[in-house]
Chains A and B, each alone.
Chain A
Amino acid sequence: MPFINDILTYKSLSIVGLEKNTGKTECLNYVLSRLKDMDKRIALTSIGIDGESRDIVTNTHKPEIRIYNGMIFISAEKHYLQRRITSEILDVSNIHTSLGRLVTARALSSDKVMLSGPPDTHTLKSLIAGMSQYNVDLTIVDGALSRLSLASPAVTEGMVLATGAAYSANIPELVRKTKYVIDLINLPEVEPALKQQLDAVESGILAIDPQGCLHDLNVQSVFMLEKAKDRIFSHGNRLFVAGATSNNLFEFLRMQKNAASIELIVKDFTKIFATPDVYYSFIRKGGTVKVVTRTKLAAVCINPVSPQGYRLSSDELKAAMQDALQMPVYDVKKL
């Protein structure tokens, strides 16, 4: 039973697809079907609510998740009322999403369910923390890596990454693109004292001086960086960007004389939107990137089939991927 025992060491886990149809749902269904026979209490939720509509666009089947008797799940009112599963409502939150309030329920039978969850990172975090009142051992988040989603799956302790032909139909290309995401996931965390300080910062760009003091540069986002170029290094070479980081930022940092001593800190790896070439050329110049919250990569799953009909060789892809990533890789179709 691959990687299930690893998963059980976490209190929270997100399962994230690099693209639609990279096998995230299969992966999640596999994990749940294995967990159901273990003596563990599982809770399930999802990030955001856009899954349904996008699936209508690509015309693939709806990502319903199979939930087993006794598991706790969270879904928005609208999806909850559409359910077929027999379940007992435990709580209705005051948090409103576009599909209504979030309902926490315990499954009393086993069936497929549409999941929907908190719309932002903060709510997701407190929701995961709140699961302890139901003695939940592991909270699983059906995640998404998208700039459209405000909630970041990186708040979970562990992460399972699903990648596959839908992300790229060319094996070396797919491996390279996946390797990039995994490099980002594995970025080191800042020291605990700084982590605590930066956790509370929700916006803006801050400079961190050698004494560890924070200085707000009064720049709202990296898109306004032009206006602050002259002040950026007035407190040393460490920078914290609370929001998204773009190619522009990485290019700007790379071109500086002090590039080799620059340390860029982001909230978590999902905040890096630079393309691989731009990111790596900053790293090659000697720059450092760190995160405030790091999530541990628990497993990588591949789906060799794409919805457009490409079918890559499972074994070849798996071997290439394992070789590049130096960690075990699983084919969701063979789990």
Chain B
Amino acid sequence: MQLKAALAEIYGLRYMIDRLDIKSGLAHRVLLASPFIVSQKELQHQLELVSSTQKSLCDDSTKPLLGKVTIKLAQVRDIGGTAKSIQKGITLNDIELFEIKSFALIAQEVKELLKTIPFLGEQLPSLLAVVELLDPEGTRIPSFYISSHFDANLAPLRRQLLGLELMLEDSTDEQLQRDADEVRSKIEAIEDGVRQRLSTLLASHANELAKAISAIASIDILIAKAKQAVADSLVMPVIGGETTSYQGLFYPQLKEVLEQQNKRYQPIDVEVNRGSCLITGANMAGKTVLLKTLALSQAMCQYGFFVPAQSAQIALVDHILFSIIDEQSELSGLSSYGAEMLKVNHIVQMAKKQHRLLVLIDELARTTNPTEGRAIVNAVANFLDECNVRAIITTHYSGLGAMCRKLRVKGFIDSSGDTQITIRNIGDYIDYSLVEDDGTSVPHEALRIAQILGVDADILTAAANQLGANLNSNKN
């Protein structure tokens, strides 16, 4: 799956991509087309490049050079289309020749600047031959026209035309006009010849050009990724093992929003093992955010980014499969339960075929009755556990019999005394960290949270009474 498609599926990924300081439209296009890397060797290479770029960015001897490179990168035009025309043997027009020339000049300058940062510079082939072809005068100025250096016959003809035009300014003599037109068509024929010759010669450099285009894009992307890694405190993941384990995992978008409001953000530690894992926890305890963060982090890693954590070890997967409820399904004519079941079925079918999967299911079967819902959760959890995929399922159901790992978000901290918990400070009274749990009971904080949110007391009292009555009747 290309990054472009993942943007629509992985929550928070667009936020990270939008914040990348990519300089050229070319690099942006290449970035959006980048693949989800499943080969450990390839991904390791990518991540190491980001790491080396990050080191160069932080090193005082190379930092200014990279600054200059980024200025150059900002001038790059996307000549992907023109490069294709070259390969197909189409004769280029002046604008396309100008683009090739200015691209080649920039690429050469970038290559020169990157001499002392070889791991970046080496990707870039020399385009000196292209520059010399399009800049026969050797001025190295990024402007272009079919000058007389391309064909010695042009200069005298152009001089002749200039003379005729001067005469024509004060005369309407038809013979003069005809002469001028004849000279013009001669010039035009020579110019067209030059364009054809240049295009043919450029075709023999098509490979270097294509390589240079992707190298320029890659350098731009690497610098942007490395800058983002520094700015957002991302970390290089250790990849390839069998464990996925994060210390200090965070969701960048939420972290920033909370920090802007001077609120606390609590990063969490989590392990994602093979087999199923059920997570319970109070409402507002961050279960959904946890799933989104795990998906985001896995995706960022496998698209060659550093990940939002203090340290991370990530086992590679072939697919990230996600079922989350806040999606619109009415338009497809399905109830939210219907849409969810189809999605879960898709996950089950995938899990039958392959086990390198990260499966994240948010509040499975919550929109149906608890009896059947509980049964579905047990069935899915057991099935995914047997398939040995990495699956995390959040739920509010208690007493789940599935024989898999169970975790619980710690939830409310017992607030001592005087501070009133309100909707504004509620985040300060929740411990978002995960603990192992047996799953026999789940937190019963729904009424308390409703109260904090300011829900009408009539309802709360009535609900509390109902609970009391149920408890009594159970005792009896």
Interface residues of A (CB under 8 A from B): 69, 77, 80-81, 84, 86-90, 92, 94, 101, 103, 105-106, 108-111
Contact = CB atoms under 8 A, between A and B. Distances in A.
Given A84-B184, A109-B158, A89 B165 contact: no
B144 interface: yes
A316 to B, nearest CB: 30
A111 B165 CA distance: 8
A86 B99 contact: no
Contact of B161 (A81, A103, A105, A109): A109
Nearest to A33: B169
B158 A89 contact: no
Interface in B143-188: 143-145, 147, 158, 161-162, 165, 184, 187
Given A86-B187, A89-B145, A106-B143, 19 more contacts: A80-B94, A80-B95, A84-B184, A86-B145, A86-B158, A87-B145, A88-B144, A89-B98, A89-B143, A89-B144, A92-B77, A92-B95, A92-B99, A94-B77, A108-B145, A109-B161, A109-B165, A110-B162, A110-B165
A199 to B, nearest CB: 26
A84 B144 CA distance: 16
A80 B77 CA distance: 19
Contacts of A88: 143-145, 147
Given A109-B162, A109-B165, A110-B165, A89 B94 contact: yes
A19 to B, nearest CB: 28
- Top 4 closest pairs, chain A to chain B, by CB: A88-B145, A89-B98, A89-B144, A90-B143
B24 to A, nearest CB: 10
B158 A81 contact: no
Nearest to B93: A81
Contacts of B187: 86
Contacts, number: 41
Interface residues of B, number: 17
A89 B162 CA distance: 20
Nearest to A69: B162
B25 interface: yes
A192 to B, nearest CB: 33
Interface in B360-412: none
13 contacts: A69-B162, A77-B95, A81-B94, A81-B95, A84-B184, A88-B144, A88-B145, A90-B143, A92-B98, A106-B143, A108-B145, A110-B165, A111-B165
A111 B94 CA distance: 18
A103 B184 CA distance: 22
B122 to A, nearest CB: 29
Nearest to A90: B143
Contacts of A86: 145, 158, 187
A92 B94 CA distance: 11
A86 B94 CA distance: 11
A184 B25 CA distance: 42
A283 B184 CA distance: 58
A101 B165 CA distance: 30
Contacts of A106: 143
Interface string B296-312: 00000000000000000
Interface string B350-362: 0000000000000
Interface string B243-271: 00000000000000000000000000000
Given A81-B93, A89-B144, A109-B162, A94 B98 contact: no
A124 B382 CA distance: 65
Nearest to A108: B145
A88 to B, nearest CB: 4
A86 to B, nearest CB: 6
Interface centre among A86, A92, A103, A109 (most CB of B within 10 A): A86
A285 B56 CA distance: 70
A177 B166 CA distance: 40
A103 B144 contact: no
Contacts of A111: 165
A81 B162 CA distance: 20
Contacts of A94: 25, 77
Nearest to B191: A86
Contacts of B144: 88-89
B172 to A, nearest CB: 15
Contacts of A109: 158, 161-162, 165
A250 to B, nearest CB: 44
Contacts of B165: 109-111
A203 B77 CA distance: 32
A66 to B, nearest CB: 9
Nearest to A93: B77
A164 to B, nearest CB: 24
A88 B142 CA distance: 10
Nearest to A101: B95
Contacts of A84: 184
B248 to A, nearest CB: 41
B384 to A, nearest CB: 49
Nearest to B161: A109
A88 B141 CA distance: 11
Interface string B414-447: 0000000000000000000000000000000000
Contacts of A105: 145
A69 to B, nearest CB: 8
A7 B158 CA distance: 32
Interface in B112-146: 143-145
Nearest to A88: B145
A94 to B, nearest CB: 7
A92 B25 CA distance: 14
A80 B95 CA distance: 9
Contacts of A87: 145
Most chain A beta-carbon contacts within 10 A, residue among B25, B94, B161: B94
A213 B143 CA distance: 48
B335 to A, nearest CB: 39
A88 B25 CA distance: 25
A87 B158 CA distance: 12
Contacts of A110: 162, 165
Nearest to B77: A92
